[in-house]
Chain A
Amino acid sequence: ETGVTQSPTHLIKTRGQQVTLRCSSQSGHNTVSWYQQALGQGPQFIFQYYREEENGRGNFPPRFSGLQFPNYSSELNVNALELDDSALYLCASSSGTSGRDEQFFGPGTRLTVL
């Protein structure tokens, strides 16, 4: 069984640029959620994708967008980067959207915005 993987591990961008982060879900999982974790804080929910559709969103502006592909892998896109976007971005996969199942997290992508 393959776990959740994310790429890249680290990324440095400058303010105003755009970034794409990638996540491959665990085998057999059809739901991917994205979280942002600022330094010293707990993760905050960005959005969730189920069967290629966004089916839940946290308090993040529209410049945070995503995609899910037929193989259930996912991308997080952030446009017009701001300094406060510097954080660890985590994706989590699960089977179904009910929340009765555990969410399995990837190792994260550390984004630094200069």
Chain B
Amino acid sequence: SQQGEEDPQALSIQEGENATMNCSYKTSINNLQWYRQNSGRGLVHLILIRSNEREKHSGRLRVTLDTSKKSSSLLITASRAADTASYFCATRGGTSYGKLTFGQGTILTVHP
């Protein structure tokens, strides 16, 4: 079963606009990671935020984490057509092994 929900399920924007995707989860976590997937192929790791962090930046990406609300958001600024992909959040819980629990993903389409 999936850990939580991603919102929206699909997002369509124009190049240059910002894209915001949200992720909610159900249980306590060790960290939360965001991945990108192009055309049903392998996952590309974007950013990891630990449970004791509230915000993290990487290039055009900004991730926030609110553990009290069990939610995270991914902001992509100044989007490009090449950002078109599916985006997944994945949580790593308290188990002794590194199991990641994924949401169902947000499909982002950036129109040139």
- A residues touching B (Cβ–Cβ < 8 Å)? 4, 31, 33, 35, 39-45, 48, 50, 55-56, 58-59, 88, 90, 92, 94, 96-108, 110
- Nearest to A94 among chain B residues (CB) is B98
CA distance A96 to B98 in the complex (A): 8
B63 to chain A, nearest CB (A): 14
Task: Decide yes or no: A97 and B104 within 8 Å by CB, A90-B43, A108-B42 being known contacts.
Answer: no
B106 to chain A, nearest CB (A): 11
What 4 A-B pairs come out closest when comparing CB atoms? A42-B102, A56-B97, A99-B98, A107-B42
Are B103 and A99 within 8 A (Cβ)? no
- The contact sample of 17 A-B pairs, CB cut-off 8 A, is A33-B100, A35-B100, A42-B104, A43-B43, A45-B99, A45-B101, A48-B98, A56-B99, A97-B98, A99-B100, A100-B30, A100-B50, A102-B33, A103-B100, A105-B42, A106-B42, A107-B42
Given contacts A41-B105, A99-B92, A110-B40, 11 further A-B contacts (CB under 8 A): A45-B100, A48-B99, A56-B99, A99-B30, A99-B95, A99-B100, A100-B50, A102-B45, A105-B42, A105-B45, A108-B42
Are A42 and B88 within 8 A (Cβ)? yes
Query: Among the listed B30, B48, B96, B101, which residue makes an inter-chain contact with A56, where contact means beta carbons less than 8 Å apart?
Result: B96
Interface residues of B in 69-112 (CB under 8 A from A): 88, 90, 92, 95-105
Across-interface contacts of A41 in B (CB, < 8 A):
2, 104-105
Across-interface contacts of A103 in B (CB, < 8 A):
33, 45, 98, 100
Q: How many A-B residue pairs have C-beta atoms within 8 angstroms? Tell me.
A: 85
CA distance A73 to B102 in the complex (A): 24
- Nearest to B103 among chain A residues (CB) is A42
Are B44 and A105 within 8 A (Cβ)? yes
